[in-house]
Chains A and B, each alone.
Chain A
């Protein structure tokens, strides 16, 4: 083994280590799964790390991938070494510029974590559809299959790009490779120098644009010359493959690892060969090794350089004995004669054979298939299925492998019992709760083993689709040979369950091998633990002759001062039980690693972790596994009883973690799913839930408004409804004068609550004899679960209040409306969802929602279950996500389309007046739908209309029937975050706002790209530390509202529900009622702010933001201007606190005082000045009297439109 340092990293980090050193300038933009590469580079730059030439790379974040590639193009044209990192839609946004860059022969390497392009659904996971979508751009494409290869190819592709002048896409599989942790060999600066020729850089510089030697590029050409000019690049492409091979050879000479354009592995006399590229090569390699040992004549050809496709290299790499080939593509090209790699292989073979290239005597049989789309597992069993298919006399062509295609019958049968996993590999699985530290500890264990022993190590981590209470599954392998198992563990000799409640639902011991070890974190003693296990789990443990260990890690963690972080404790248990290292050595290594990892965070943090290590082993106990199961009963069903069939059969299976077993026919063909499904998934996340004290409650409903998951609800109802009441159901007289004589109940959905405590924090009512108690208080959930379930079900059956009777500008009335957005997977304590919920209460029954990609599209539309729901009449929001960048335009499309249909419907209604009757027609055509009563009446008319139309046979009547519903006012909403509104979607948003159309834009402003992990946006305030702003954001926040106000005809509001809930409500109601474009910018506290979100501080932070002047509350209503009044109303007063008081209460700002104290002082002072200047400016603007220029404005409220509503 060489003496190069060993790294235990994922491919993103490995590649970033090379790319950072080999570039001078980078233009970046976040997109999963590539973001970490850009984050590493930004962080290293903030630490003043130098590149290979001893200078600090300059890194700039752009507003989109389209912007990033434009910037890179400019960087290259002016002679710099430039790069970017991207994936999926991001790569596709770069396509036009990629054509340019290749056409101008500019050498660059883009590092791409290959990811699915969204089709019927979005997927953040890996396949080659993005790569394939840009294969016509003229870029070379080099694919790596493992973490080590990705690191190596990052260098090889840069060397080859400089030499060939052809730009390179260096790609590796999203998540499977980008996020897989492996022990690899690092490349040293000397390695990089040995491959990068400074003379080539000098030539690149010499070709650069310079006024010293001016040139002109980017001409427009006509049909007379473009074609022949375009053909001029051919020699460069012809030379490219050899240049790549030369670079690979040079790399082999320096580093030792040998690569080829096409690498063949397998029997030298193989008759069956699989061709593929990407991480699947590793699984295929492992399988081929296994099968060859058993005497099978099989092989795998790994495609490294996909473009330019080198025919002679390809044929030359195939064994002459090959009789049949299966070409596997990790992409789908509907309607094509075959997927791209297959087509290339066919063409290469035909051309190559015709030209007499290589040793093949005749054309082998070639078939193709698809595998592993969207990170679907690709296992040795599937590889074997492909070889078996090749063996058959009539092999299935255009097959799929890894799914059950019961519609087109393309899929191969896979023998899931087939395994190639060697016995000398330790395979461990850990089921953890997101954020409990399990993943971090496992990454740490891999490091300990990878860097402290000669063993190879691999880690891959699977996260679920919810942001709150999510389950993480870590898959770890350790062994003496390089690990090529690029698939999840299906047979584990060690399984650990870090959260006991997961065991109630998931049969996680199923993969345990005979004699394997199961470790459970449980509050039960070693004598009780066995009997508390679900019976099926016991049965498996008995059948597998398993060893069973328990520890109360939660207790040890609390006693050690670790709070809920059980990571270190469970890590110690793993080392103690797995035997992967001698116990003492393992403990020493853990302690050393704790000091290394936490040292910079202070001695207290180190000390509590060390204490946890010392406290662990005495609490770890073996529990004897008896011969007979006597458990707690069956596993809990994934969904509650009573769900519709599709929800139960399909979504239920996904919830149970068995989505892989669903066949093609189970799914809607066009990506359409029912709403109102989150109600069936009772996640029981909260250890403590709010409990209502009806005697203290003042019925203000602030708790209902702020609840992010719609799990606190209120109803008023006739006393007569209280029949057959569950024993503990609470009910009091309504305190609202309008509802005199009615009963009031505040009810918590105990099984849906996430326990975030926002409700308790905002409750203004205090117990007079014990001031720490409020009208709602947190109490343990478990003892209340059954009774509250009954109460909740009873509550749901109580009649809803007639919407026409609710004053929608009074929070305590408006919050009685049923939310049509409930139980989302958003983070506990989320600051965005209360706004969505409020919109859904007010307009959900007629809302059409366009949602930009981001947090709100993930918690809003991620399978298995989704939160948008329906009222008793079956009405509710209809929701769709298009892309990240086009959301405003997408929503405008809704509006234009609906308006046209309404216009056409109105025309038809008028035309059909003789048949429909003048009263009905005039009622429909002249309907005023300004409030609930107006909407209700129009709905009634449309019902009559549809009845009448059903009796008519004319084409007009039939046409009208299809669009009659559009006669009821529809509320078009455009939801998104600040990354969308301020950055990538800003151009479109601006255009849509300027269109004058009646759309309602809700920007949930968290001031960072929350969904992708907190990268800086143009909304990020000055001084905040964010990803891509590791040194604190130097520039101030963009004032989106002010820009929008400049049009004059846009309703604009800046709101913060936690600061002033009724103001938020008023603004939302006004915005919707305004018959033109409306923009609501809603301050949304976020986990990425570094606040104790799980302790309910969110609303408090919003308040502080407003009180310090950091966030303004205002409304700009063009209708006021029409009335001659100043359209701008300031709704927050002068600052009551210093901005710094607010800044220091959030980690995103405070962190800078710890990392760059001097910079923080400067930036904080500027932030104070920003705030004061902005306040004065807004005060000045809102203080003008538009009626008379000289007189000061009266604080006019007369034109406030919603004040006049009933």
Chain B
């Protein structure tokens, strides 16, 4: 069975790629992903905000209470240097590269400063490339709350970030986006035009929740359910064959059947997260086995054959991916 696929120009053995998650914080875990058959690994994200927060917090903690009492002028020894920048992440890339043969895709998340600054994005991108990552995923994660910021300005910021990064590095760059754009297809096209090598659809945000006992708002992330795959499924199907970018599907992909659907919609790879957190990274091999079994049973020869076969372009009823379908689904449900 030929499971090979090409994503961001990288030739991969299968379309099964673990998504950015805490699972890749540990080198042993990355090795186990490779052993289980992962064809590439997207590393956990390097968060600029976290680094900034860490630095300010460290400074605050070291200064707190100092020079107040003659006996305790300070409370901590001060080392000659701190590892406060992205060094740890870069070392991690290098260690991962050393440990496995599959491609390592780095992921970065810098801050968007009122839609203006792209400094950290380009700096991180350059460093990640120097650390020999095979590709880069830009995790543009932005929840605007400014009432005066227009959608156009936000979209332009995304484009600016991507362009700046592309100007800085030669490794392929994918952009992980949320679906929350007025016209996502247009946004995808703009990313495509700005030089993105791939789109990762979609980002899932931490969403606030309310704890009724403590009366507190507690942001958390729930593991995805298979229902979550419907949104990326639609947009991948719509975009397939209309842009040059690679398409990665993520959200709600739990079983081989989910992988198959995504591939048929037009994804080049499927990124797995919740299912690996739930079942362990070894689950990649289970999905692969099921994938092969299904393909054999249904007499498919290759992933290439599957890819995009039910995209909007190739499916029997293209309007099924469009909004009108919504009404019919409801009415069908009502009569059945």
Contact = CB atoms under 8 A, between A and B. Distances in A.
A1154 interface: yes
B113 interface: no
B59 A434 contact: no
A496 to B, nearest CB: 16
Contacts of A1153: 83
Interface string B125-151: 000000000000000000000000000
B323 interface: no
Nearest to A1156: B79
B79 A46 contact: yes
A1014 B76 contact: yes
Contact of B68 (A175, A467, A1156, A1157): A467
B68 A472 contact: yes
A39 B77 CA distance: 7
Given A175-B70, A470-B69, A605-B59, A1087 B52 contact: no
Interface string B76-93: 111111111100100000
B265 to A, nearest CB: 38
A498 interface: no
Interface in A1045-1094: 1087-1088, 1090-1094
Given A1014-B75, A1027-B77, A1090-B76, A1147 B62 contact: yes
Contacts of A418: none
Interface in A419-470: 434-435, 437-440, 461, 463, 467, 470
A602 B59 contact: yes
B77 A46 contact: yes
A526 B214 CA distance: 48
Given A601-B84, A604-B56, A435 B77 contact: no
Interface in B256-283: none
A1147 B61 contact: yes
Given A1013-B72, A1027-B76, A771 B65 contact: no
A124 B70 contact: yes
B83 A1155 contact: yes
Given A435-B66, A602-B59, A47 B79 contact: yes
Contacts of A1147: 57-58, 61-62, 76
Contacts of B57: 1147
Given A43-B78, A1014-B76, A1094 B71 contact: no
B244 interface: no
A1027 B59 CA distance: 17
A771 B82 contact: no
Contacts of A1025: 76-77
Nearest to A1088: B75
B186 interface: no
B322 interface: no
Contacts of B330: none
Given A440-B66, A463-B69, A1157 B58 contact: no
B186 to A, nearest CB: 36
A279 interface: no
Contacts of A563: 60
B334 interface: no
B64 interface: yes
B68 A605 contact: no
Contact of B72 (A42, A771, A1011): A1011
A605 B55 contact: yes
Contacts of A47: 79-80
Given A32-B71, A46-B79, A1155-B83, A827 B215 contact: no
Interface string A996-1018: 00000000000000111110000
Given A1012-B72, A1087-B65, A1154 B77 contact: no
A434 B69 contact: yes
Nearest to A175: B70
Contacts of A124: 70-71
A46 B80 CA distance: 10
Contact of B67 (A439, A600, A771, A1093): A439
Given A435-B63, A1093-B64, A43 B69 contact: no
B73 interface: yes
Contacts, number: 148
Nearest to B74: A1013
B71 A771 contact: no
Contacts of B216: 771
Interface string A1122-1158: 0000000000000000000000000110110111110
B69 to A, nearest CB: 5
A463 B76 contact: no
B64 A1087 contact: yes
A43 B77 contact: yes
Interface size class of B (residues with CB under 8 A): 35 or more
A36 interface: yes
A1177 interface: no
A1103 interface: no
A598 B75 CA distance: 17
B301 interface: no
A439 B61 CA distance: 17
Contacts of B70: 32-33, 124, 175, 179, 463
B72 A1010 contact: yes
B54 interface: yes
Contacts of A467: 68-69
Contacts of A858: 71
Given A771-B215, A1013-B71, A1090-B64, A604 B76 contact: no
Contacts of B88: 1157
A639 interface: no
B27 to A, nearest CB: 11
A36 B73 contact: yes
Interface string B26-62: 0000000000000000000000000110111111111
Contacts of B74: 1013-1014
Contacts of B76: 1014, 1025-1027, 1088, 1090, 1147-1148, 1151
Contacts of A1012: 71-72
A435 B67 contact: yes
Contacts of A1093: 64-65
B127 to A, nearest CB: 15
A1090 B80 contact: no
Contact of B84 (A33, A472, A602): A602
- Pick from A438, A1153, A1154 the residue with the most CB of B within 10 Å: A1154
B233 to A, nearest CB: 35
Given A598-B59, A605-B59, A434 B71 contact: no
B334 to A, nearest CB: 40
Contacts of B55: 601-605
Nearest to A774: B215
Interface in A29-75: 32-33, 35-36, 39, 42-43, 46-47
Contacts of A21: none
Contacts of B68: 434-435, 463, 467, 470, 472
Given A1027-B77, A1147-B58, A440 B82 contact: no
Nearest to B65: A1087
A1030 interface: yes
Interface in B81-130: 81-85, 88
Contacts of A1094: 64
Nearest to A1008: B75
A1156 B82 CA distance: 8
B106 to A, nearest CB: 18
13 contacts: A36-B73, A43-B77, A440-B63, A440-B67, A565-B63, A602-B58, A604-B56, A1014-B72, A1025-B76, A1090-B61, A1090-B64, A1154-B54, A1157-B83
The 8 closest A-B pairs by CB, nearest first: A434-B68, A602-B55, A1013-B72, A439-B67, A1147-B61, A1030-B77, A1090-B61, A1014-B75
Interface of B: 51-52, 54-85, 88, 215-216
Given A1090-B75, A1156-B79, 9 more contacts: A36-B73, A463-B70, A600-B80, A601-B84, A602-B82, A766-B215, A1087-B65, A1154-B58, A1155-B79
